[in-house]
A and B are shown apart, each in its own frame.
Chain A
Amino acid sequence: MKKRIIALLLVLALVTVSGVGCGQTQSETPGEAPEVESANTEGSVEQKEELQVNPKVKEAEKVLMSQLEPLPELKKDVKIGALVISLTNPFWVGMKEAYEAAAAELGITVEVFAGSTEGDKQAQLDALDAMVVKDYDAIILSPIEPFNLQPGILRANENGIPIINLGPGVDVASLEERGGYLDGRIAVDFVEQGRKVAEDMLKYMKGSKKVAIIQGIIGAGQSEGRTQGAKEVFEATEGVELVSIQPADWDRNKAYSVAQDLIQAHPDLNGIFACNDVMALAAAEALEAEGKLDEVVIYGVDFTEEAREAIKAGRMSGSIAYPCSVYAKAALILAAKVAEGQKVQPVYAPLEVVNVDNVHEFEGWK
């Protein structure tokens, strides 16, 4: 008995010690991960100081804002909920920060939620269900796949909370069949992203013109759309051979092995299009280890901070950028509009191809 109590105390001590340990690591992080932190602060400074904003971002903002006319009058007490995909993906972490920065600029309140991981569809729905019972004037959501949030959207419709769909699309046909509807939409044309990347890649491929595509999770809208667009262009271009399409589930480690295997199977491979930057970066690492980085053109999508550095260093060839800050702002304005009861049309976000030649124009892109 005594022994047991001692053991219990020991474990408790361990837990406390580990807790303290974690606390320390956490507080040390800002100093110790300078790249991550500086990237964030850079972004928020640019949000506040209009003068430093990249001209391309301003252009994109103009295009989006013109679609949003007439602009609503923003009352201070407007409270908007935003649901993103996962806070373990740098793109969505950036989106969360962009929402918060844009809300501060517009003088309204936004609260951002997310599912636990990129694959957990139920957790994202649970988050939406919890949001629906709160007092938001509107909810902006970006679903993991076209169907997982539909039950939550139906509940929001019943409660009279307007729903805006940003980015990855909700399947409207099946939603309407179930008696639900969206109040507004900011769409990204994923097929167009794939097409644009493929066209740009062709300009830079000087060798065998053999290309491969690394997909995300099978069935995910972004992945399927980008693949479809790129496939169309590759197949329609004479002399280009699409040798393989392999999924790597948005996973860095899987993408690394896939790229390794691809280069074995096709030693004269000339181009890889990865459906996001994380996988493109992994492909670059794999090809570098094989000593083939110079022969293969690698493109990704999202234009994350890490990708920007890789393109500058010539490790990646290009990516597709769509500015989070403008997106978030447009979404909040749209949400405020529908909250006022205005009817709105779907809004399309502009896309920009970034490559080794124009990457310098994208300084401070956020």
Chain B
Amino acid sequence: MGFNKNSVEKYFSQLLLLGILLVLVCFLSWKSPFFLTWKNWRNILDTISVQLLLALGMNFVIATGGIDLSQGSNVCLTGIIMAICLKANFSVWSAIVIGILVAAFLGIFNGLIIEKIKITPFIVTLGTSSLYRGLAIIITGGMPIYSFPTAFTFWGKGESTQLNPPIIIACIVLILAVFLMHKTKWGQYSMAIGGNEEALRRVGVNVGFYKVSYYLASALMAGLAGLIITARLNAAEPTAGMGMELDAVTAVVMGGSLMRGGKANISGTFIACLLLGVIKNGLVILSISSYYQQFIIGFLLLSAVVLAEVRQRGQIRF
């Protein structure tokens, strides 16, 4: 096993995405004078912050070979809980803390069912996704809850020309995620569980505890995302966050993490989010109808995955 070969393989997805991103950035800045402005980039970062947070949480879960389909519903329910607290005249801080605690609770609930009853994460989180969404609809009666104090909406907006809370939160979490994934036992175990769970159990690691903690992490990210979109839109509604979990999976897989677990790629996830954000932004900047958006995203996702897979097979000589 050559180390060099391994490191090329390790960074292949990132390099590929970075290449596409560079081409796209060159093209867009040539086409529009507005593209390469700080304001526009702040916009792109603002837009991707939510997807990035969810994808980072999802990355740890996917590294174990699991998946968390309840993220989107969790985003929605967390936002609604915060909204209800605010309407009941709770302080902004306590509303946020209660919302995040609820999110954490939902994540632990996911993790416990998966670990203790041994049901596939796909099925469990598919079920809880519907459960949490249903709760959100029942609680609100289908109507949005809107209009919050500025101390709360601050968390989604901030000054238009400067780094705002969503971007700062996403950056901190990104750095934290890189550190946790690659420098701590906690992160390494997530990939080890995806690689060979049984082996890890045999050496006496409390796999169950760790597994639940990854679903907790994923849910905490959903909680933060819920805070951001509720504050940003100044409204919490039962349809919020729909499909966000799949956007997160897209970014994770496109970034080079394996769906079957064992290999996770935080920087790849970040580049994938950035690329998706630039594509969406670019379409509007160029006034191209987003009829093409779905197609382009699907095409990129498939190409990135197929290329990475073909390369890997070549290496391990299937």
For B239, list chain A residues within 8 Å (CB).
88-89, 117-118, 251-252
A86-B266 Cα distance, complex, nearest whole Å? 38
B32 at the binding interface (Cβ < 8 Å): yes
Report the count of interface residues on A (CB-CB < 8 A): 56
Q: Across the A-B interface, how many residue pairs have beta carbons closer than 8 Å? A: 145
Determine the main DSSP class of A at the interface with B: helix
A32 at the interface (CB under 8 A from B): yes
Give A29 to B87 CA distance when docked, in angstroms: 10
Whether the Cβ atoms of A261 and B143 lie closer than 8 Å is no
Q: Interface segment, A6-14, A63-71, A132-140?
A: A6-14
Q: How far is the CB of A103 from chain B (nearest CB, A)?
A: 19
Given A256-B233, A264-B40 in contact, is the A14-B109 Cβ separation under 8 Å? Answer: yes
A88-B137, A306-B146 known; A264 vs B242 contact (CB < 8 Å)? no
Whether, in the assembled complex, A90 has its beta carbon less than 8 Å from a beta carbon of chain B, the answer is yes
Least Cβ–Cβ distance between B226 and chain A, in angstroms: 11
Residues in B whose Cβ lies below 8 Å from that of A285 = 157, 232-234
Stretch at the interface among A240-248, A326-334, A350-358: A240-248
How many chain B residues touch A (CB < 8 A): the figure is: 57
**Contacts of A32 on B, CB cut-off 8 Å?**
84-85, 87-88
- Roughly how many angstroms separate A214 CA and B235 CA in the complex, as a whole number? 19
Chain B residues whose C-beta falls within 8 Å of the C-beta of A90 in the assembled complex:
142-144
Pairwise interchain contact A244-B287, C-beta atoms closer than 8 A: yes
State whether B229 touches A261 (Cβ < 8 A). Answer: no
Q: CB distance A33 to B105 under 8 Å?
A: no
Given contacts A89-B239, A261-B281, 15 further A-B contacts (CB under 8 A): A7-B117, A14-B109, A29-B140, A32-B87, A32-B88, A35-B145, A87-B137, A88-B239, A90-B143, A93-B142, A247-B289, A251-B242, A257-B47, A264-B37, A285-B233
Question: Which 7 A-B residue pairings sit nearest by Cβ, starting from the closest?
Answer: A261-B284, A7-B116, A32-B88, A93-B142, A87-B142, A244-B287, A265-B285
- Chain B residues within 8 Å of A, Cβ to Cβ: 32, 34, 37, 39-40, 43, 46-47, 50, 81, 83-85, 87-88, 105, 109, 112-113, 116-117, 135, 137-147, 157-158, 160, 229, 232-235, 237-242, 280-281, 283-287, 289-291
Q: 15 interchain pairs (CB within 8 A)? A: A7-B117, A22-B135, A29-B141, A32-B88, A33-B140, A36-B145, A88-B137, A88-B239, A93-B143, A256-B232, A261-B43, A265-B32, A265-B287, A278-B144, A289-B158
